């Protein structure tokens, strides 16, 4: 099995990079290779331009925080934090100062003599983070650091973790399967699948200009339309039609006329419009209130289910059974050549 | 008619009380989610409905019948666990057929029912695969088919999506609701994920510290939470501390810490009452004049941009602007904020402090 395949990426000093992909994509393997816990079969790992591929983990100045935190159950919060400095023989004075600083940083000063089992999930996560930071690393490697926590708590901790890393000037590589988490936390996102990096970019680049149909649906969910190009070319709106004579529009593309393509548009960028302005028409099958937005399932005959997110303030304007029109801003729709292995396989997120 | 009723349920584990005086009625064909942070007692509750554990006090009724002493296999329920619990040495079809065979259903049902439910979760073409050959999402779909194959009309889901990837969860929660509604099931679904709860439920029961905090439709819980904890837990919100100045017929006026006057819904408070104002980020808008603030961070969220500011009243406020907005926000920019008085809700300022009242763990 090839877990990471010809993978190449560079991370800037002080950058927060999220490695985003589905389970089994090779994210954790990549992180372990960087940490020195797994040897690559071929290739190099460089930290600060220095080849560290053959170096032991503790000589890399990169520390890995594992998904399960791996705190020592028989040690207190403070003992867990001081484990690394102790082993490295840090002078007593410096040890004391480091401990006070780190406890304060992760807000566990009052819990310094508690044991891991007495802490909540969020506290355990912060304890493990402090232990990782105690060795004063330049590079922090986070493997799904928020996965074990409750959904609502995760939302708050995203901001907290990012600002802590930024405050310390750390370079962070953070592995996650959660595209929302990556969008909110990352300076840049690297999307990984089948051991390969598919796209690297800012959250905005990844969301607005996905490199493949998979990225289009993995990061932010998209609606898809399959057809052939009628018009295309530099600076010209791409026009795509299907066998049923439906026509949709998308941003400029260099793919040639007549080629079989897939148009992708984010469900959040799919608009409900008057039938006269519609690219596609369909029947509302279901409306689901989701708080700030209302989720609509729309059955478009011959194409299947399209999803739309409407601001909740417009929820009274659409009801189940309504015939509605759909269109989108041309610049929000991407055009891809039809995937060789078929669209269904390309879009599989699981 | 599998309606479920819990009457004054108390459950103690040694010194810990996991459920305190729980009264809850779930109607036939209703999809109810029990939502709450870790340790709130939601799992204990669903296990008592299933018969995995017995309450210390009170009664569980299913279909009007007292369940005391009735073991799980005689309660006619389907149960899906958080950690996928398929038989690893059986393929998908045999996993789903297990219930009907053990229950001694007739040969025709044993042949037909499992295929029917596998079709429902769109896995008929993979029925000969073993769990290890299926993805996490597919395995959980097989678990669902297995739970339903015996024909149970009451489905209990114990964090069914928690072990799956975020993106897979999104697709599966729509499927869960669709299938339950198509089959006319009564569903009790336990989760810590408020987004999941909002999407799947007819009604959400929010729990904390072994008690029900509030129970209502997703829409009412989001738009008109009766409780400060609910306002913060079910969707994000901004909380501003202030003092009531005046309550009029169409609005309440309050003074923030720096003396700024802002508006909220009409209320029963009196002048001088210490209150907390809750206002959702999507309801706060920039304006030429309003609550003064400074931009602290800007986050791209895909279809919108989240701006975080600190107000002159020393409150943290988040608001959302469209990605097509003309104005280009920068950290350190001054911005004035307004909102419609209808979207601000007032709560009494909790004596233990706001942070303690909304604590998530």
ipTM metric: 0.88
CATH assignment at residue A190: 3.40.50.300
What are the distances in angstroms from CA A191 to CA A28, A195, A210, A218, B302? Answer: 13, 10, 10, 9, 16
Q: Report pTM.
A: 0.91
Per-residue tokens: A175: 């592995």
Same-domain check for residues A109 and A253: no
Would A5 be classed as within a structural domain? no
Return the closest-CA partner of residue A35 out of A198, A181, A172: A172
Same-domain check for residues A148 and A297: no
Range of the domain at A263: 221-343
Would A1 be classed as within a structural domain? no
Q: Rounded CA gap, B190 and B19, in Å?
A: 15
Same-domain check for residues A229 and A304: yes
Does A268 contact B281 at a Cβ distance shorter than 8 Å? Answer: no
Q: Rounded CA gap, A194 and A5, in Å?
A: 8
| pLDDT score, position A315 | 87
Chosen from A25, A123, A144, A292 to mutate, greatest number of chain B CBs within 10 A:
A292
Q: Rounded CA gap, B242 and B275, in Å?
A: 5
CB atoms within 10 A of CB A323: 11
Quote the strand ranges of B52-127, DSSP E.
Answer: 57-62, 65-66, 77-80
Q: Are A8 and A14 in contact (CB under 8 A)?
A: no
Q: Rounded CA gap, A129 and A132, in Å?
A: 5
Question: In total, how many domains does chain A have?
Answer: 2
| pLDDT score, position A259 | 96
Distance from CA of B207 to the nearest CA of A (A): 14
Return the closest-CA partner of residue B111 out of B119, B120, B100: B100
Distance from CA of A294 to the nearest CA of B (A): 9
Q: Are A190 and A7 in contact (CB under 8 A)?
A: no
Q: Rounded CA gap, B62 and B74, in Å?
A: 11
Q: What percent of chain A has pLDDT over 70?
A: 100
Same-domain check for residues A296 and A204: no
Q: Contacts of residue B38 in chain A, CB cutoff 8 Å?
A: 120-121, 150
Q: Contacts of residue A289 in chain B, CB cutoff 8 Å?
A: 198, 218-219, 222
> CA-nearest residue of chain B to A121?
B361
Distance from CA of A234 to the nearest CA of B (A): 23
Angle at A121 between CA A117 and CA A123, to 5 degrees: 85
CATH assignment at residue A291: 2.40.50.100
Q: Rounded CA gap, A26 and B118, in Å?
A: 30
Q: Enter the DSSP assignment of A294.
A: E
Q: Contacts of residue A202 in chain B, CB cutoff 8 Å?
A: 300
Same-domain check for residues A183 and A244: no
Same-domain check for residues A147 and A64: yes
Would A322 be classed as within a structural domain? yes
Q: Are B51 and B67 in contact (CB under 8 A)?
A: yes
Distance from CA of A148 to the nearest CA of B (A): 9
Angle at B178 between CA B172 and CA B181, to 5 degrees: 140
Q: Which phi and psi angles does B124 have, rounded to 5°? A: -60, -35
Same-domain check for residues A190 and A58: yes
Would A2 be classed as within a structural domain? no
Does B192 contact A150 at a Cβ distance shorter than 8 Å? Answer: yes
Contacts (Cβ under 8 Å, ≥6 apart) of B40: B207, B208, B209, B210
Q: Contacts of residue B193 in chain A, CB cutoff 8 Å?
A: 150-152
Give, rounded to a whole angstrom, the gap between the first and last alpha carbons of chain B. Answer: 37
Residues belonging to chain B? 361
Contacts (Cβ under 8 Å, ≥6 apart) of B303: A220, A266, A268, A269, A309, B323
| pLDDT score, position A305 | 94
Q: Which of residues 182-241 of A touch B (CB under 8 A)?
A: 183-184, 202-204, 207, 218-221
Same-domain check for residues A158 and A301: no
* Residue at which a domain ends, from A175, A208, A241: A208
Would A35 be classed as within a structural domain? yes
| pLDDT score, position B191 | 97
Distance from CA of B318 to the nearest CA of A (A): 12
Residues belonging to chain A? 350
Instruction: Order the strands of the B31-35 sheet from edge to edge.
Output: B77-80, B154-158, B186-191, B31-35, B203-208, B211-216
Q: Contacts of residue B196 in chain A, CB cutoff 8 Å?
A: 151
Give, rounded to a whole angstrom, the gap between the first and last alpha carbons of chain A. Answer: 18
Would A349 be classed as within a structural domain? no
Return the closest-CA partner of residue A128 out of A85, A71, A58: A71
Write a three-state SS string for B131-180: HHHCCHHHHHHHHHHHHHCCCCCEEEEECCCCCCCHHHHHHHHHHHHHHH
Q: Contacts of residue B177 in chain A, CB cutoff 8 Å?
A: 288
Q: Contacts of residue B230 in chain A, CB cutoff 8 Å?
A: none
Tally C-beta pairs within 8 A across A and B: 109
Query: For each of chain B's 361 residues, which pLDDT tens digit applies?
Result: 789 999 999 999 999 999 999 999 999 999 999 999 988 999 999 999 999 999 999 999 999 999 999 998 889 899 998 887 899 999 999 999 998 898 888 898 889 999 999 999 989 999 999 999 999 999 999 999 999 998 899 999 999 999 899 999 998 999 999 999 999 999 999 999 999 999 999 999 999 999 999 999 999 999 999 999 999 999 999 999 999 999 999 999 999 999 999 999 999 999 999 999 999 999 999 999 999 999 999 999 999 999 999 999 999 999 999 988 768 899 999 999 999 999 999 999 999 999 999 998 8
Same-domain check for residues A204 and A151: yes
Give me the residues paired with residue A263 across strands.
A225, A335
Does B138 contact A290 at a Cβ distance shorter than 8 Å? Answer: no
Same-domain check for residues A140 and A269: no
Domains and CATH numbers, chain B: 4-228 (3.40.50.300), 236-357 (2.40.50.140)
Same-domain check for residues A106 and A251: no
Residue A9 or residue A225, greater confidence: A225
A111 touches chain B (CB under 8 A): no
A316 touches chain B (CB under 8 A): no
Q: Residue B250: which region, alpha, beta or left (left: phi > 0; alpha: psi -120 to 50)? A: alpha
* Residue at which a domain ends, from A157, A173, A208: A208
Residue B1: exposure state from Cβ atoms within 10 A (0-12, 13-18, ≥19): exposed
User: Is residue A139's pLDDT more than 80?
Assistant: yes
Q: Rounded CA gap, B269 and B277, in Å?
A: 12
Would A33 be classed as within a structural domain? yes
Q: Are B96 and B146 in contact (CB under 8 A)?
A: yes
Q: What is the CA radius of gyration of chain A?
A: 24
* Residue at which a domain ends, from A208, A239, A263: A208
Residues of B with CB under 8 A from a CB of A: 37-39, 135-138, 164-168, 170-171, 174, 177-178, 191-196, 198-199, 218-219, 222, 233-236, 280-282, 297, 299-303, 320, 360-361
Quote the strand ranges of A1-154, DSSP E.
Answer: 16-20, 46-47, 50-51, 62-65, 139-143
> CA-nearest residue of chain A to B360?
A153
Chosen from B34, B167, B343, B355 to mutate, greatest number of chain A CBs within 10 A:
B167
Would A4 be classed as within a structural domain? no
Same-domain check for residues A172 and A245: no
């Amino acid at each position: 099995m090839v877990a990471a395949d010809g993978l190449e990426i560079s991370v800037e000093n002080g950058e927060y990079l999220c490695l985003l992909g589905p389970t089994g994509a090779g994210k954790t393997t990549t992180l372990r290779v960087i940490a020195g816990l797994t040897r690559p079969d071929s290739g190099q790992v460089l930290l600060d331009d220095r080849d560290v591929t053959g170096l032991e983990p503790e000589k890399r100045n990169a520390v890995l925080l594992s998904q399960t935190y791996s705190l020592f159950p028989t040690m207190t919060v403070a003992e867990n934090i001081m484990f690394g400095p102790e082993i490295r023989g840090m002078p007593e004075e410096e040890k004391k100062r480091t401990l006070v600083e780190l406890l304060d940083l992760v807000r566990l000063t009052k819990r310094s003599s508690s044991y891991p089992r007495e802490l909540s999930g969020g506290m355990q996560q912060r304890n493990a983070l402090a232990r990782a930071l105690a060795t004063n690393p330049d590079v922090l490697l986070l493997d799904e650091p928020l996965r074990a926590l409750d959904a609502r708590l995760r939302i708050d901790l995203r901001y907290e973790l990012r600002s802590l890393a930024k405050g310390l000037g750390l370079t962070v590589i953070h592995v996650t399967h959660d595209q929302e988490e990556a969008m909110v936390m990352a300076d840049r996102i690297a999307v990984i699948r089948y051991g390969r990096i598919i796209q690297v970019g800012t959250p905005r680049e990844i969301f607005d200009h996905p490199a493949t149909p998979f990225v289009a649906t993995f990061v932010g969910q998209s609606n898809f339309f399959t057809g052939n190009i009628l018009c295309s070319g530099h600076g010209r709106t791409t026009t795509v039609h299907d066998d049923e004579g439906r026509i949709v529009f998308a941003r400029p593309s260099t793919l040639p006329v007549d080629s079989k393509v897939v148009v992708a548009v984010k469900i959040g960028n799919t608009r409900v419009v008057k039938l006269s302005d519609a690219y596609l028409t369909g029947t509302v099958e279901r409306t689901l209130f989701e708080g700030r937005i209302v989720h609509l399932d729309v059955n478009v005959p011959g194409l299947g289910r399209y999803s739309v997110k409407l601001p909740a303030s417009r929820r009274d304007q659409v009801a189940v059974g309504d015939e509605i029109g759909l269109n989108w801003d041309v610049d929000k729709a991407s055009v891809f050549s039809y995937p060789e292995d078929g669209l269904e396989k390309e879009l599989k997120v699981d | 008619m599998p309606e479920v009723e819990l009457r004054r349920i108390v459950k103690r584990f040694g010194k810990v009380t996991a459920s305190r005086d729980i009264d809850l009625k779930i109607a036939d064909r209703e999809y109810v989610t029990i939502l709450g942070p870790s340790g709130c007692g939601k799992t204990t509750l669903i296990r008592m409905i299933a018969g995995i554990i017995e309450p210390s006090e009170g009664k569980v009724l299913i279909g009007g019948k007292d369940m005391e002493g009735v073991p799980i296999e005689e309660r006619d329920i389907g149960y899906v666990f958080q950690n996928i619990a398929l038989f690893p040495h059986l393929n998908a079809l045999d996993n789903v057929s297990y219930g009907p065979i053990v229950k001694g259903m007739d040969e025709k049902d044993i042949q037909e029912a499992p295929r029917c439910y596998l079709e429902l979760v769109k896995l008929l073409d993979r029925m000969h695969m073993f769990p290890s050959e299926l993805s996490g999402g597919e395995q959980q779909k097989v678990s669902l088919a297995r739970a339903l194959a015996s024909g149970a009309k009451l489905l209990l889901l114990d964090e069914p999506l928690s072990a799956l990837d975020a993106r897979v969860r999104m697709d599966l929660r729509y499927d869960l609701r669709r299938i339950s509604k198509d089959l006319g099931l009564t569903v009790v679904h336990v989760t810590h994920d408020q987004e999941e709860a909002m999407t799947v439920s007819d009604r959400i029961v929010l729990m904390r510290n072994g008690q029900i905090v509030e129970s209502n439709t997703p829409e009412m819980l989001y738009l008109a939470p009766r409780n400060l904890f609910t306002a913060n837990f079910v969707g994000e919100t901004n909380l501003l501390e202030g003092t009531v100045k005046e309550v009029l017929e169409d609005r309440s006026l309050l003074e923030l810490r720096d003396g700024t006057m802002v508006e909220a819904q009409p209320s029963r408070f009196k002048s001088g009452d210490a209150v907390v104002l809750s206002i959702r980020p999507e309801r706060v808008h920039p304006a030429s004049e309003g609550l003064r603030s400074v931009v602290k961070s800007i986050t791209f969220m895909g279809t919108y941009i989240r701006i975080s500011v600190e107000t002159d009243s020393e409150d943290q406020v988040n608001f959302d602007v469209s990605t097509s907005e003309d104005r280009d926000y920068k950290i350190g920019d001054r911005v004035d904020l307004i909102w419609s008085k209808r979207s601000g809700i007032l709560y009494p300022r909790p004596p233990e402090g706001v942070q303690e009242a909304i604590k998530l763990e």
